[in-house]
C-alpha cells in the first residue's frame, strides 16, 4: 500500500475557514473539529481517516477584506 503523504494549499477569498470546512465536510461526509489554535484551524476528518486542515497561512492581508488582483499589484 502506498504510504506517501503530501499537502495541497488552496487560496480562498470571500469565504471563511469555517465555511470552507463545512462545505468540505458535507462533500466528504466527514466531521469538523476546531483546533482552537492561533490559526483558528478547522479540521475535517473524512470517513477514511484523512484529515483536511483549513487554516490561515499568516499572510498579512488574509481575511482583511482585501482582494488580490492578477496584475501583481497589492490587493484592492
Identify which of 52, 15, 47 has the alpha carbon closest to the alpha carbon of residue 33: 52
**Band of the pLDDT at 66, cuts 50, 70, 90?**
low
Residue 60's pLDDT is 59
The Cα 41–Cα 29 span in angstroms is: 19
Q: pTM for the complete prediction?
A: 0.67
User: Do residues 69 and 62 make contact, with C-beta atoms less than 8 angstroms apart?
Assistant: no
Domain ranges of the chain: 17-54
Q: What is the pLDDT of residues 16-64, one digit of tens each?
A: 999 999 999 999 999 999 988 888 899 999 999 999 999 887 765 554 5
Amino acid at each position: 500500500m502506498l504510504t506517501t503523504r503530501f499537502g495541497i494549499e488552496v487560496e480562498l477569498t470571500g469565504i471563511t475557514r469555517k465555511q470552507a470546512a463545512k462545505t468540505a465536510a458535507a462533500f466528504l461526509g466527514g466531521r469538523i473539529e476546531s483546533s482552537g489554535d492561533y490559526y483558528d484551524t478547522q479540521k475535517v476528518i473524512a470517513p477514511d481517516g484523512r484529515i483536511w486542515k483549513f487554516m490561515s497561512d499568516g499572510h498579512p492581508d488574509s481575511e482583511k477584506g482585501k482582494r488580490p488582483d492578477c496584475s501583481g499589484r497589492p490587493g484592492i
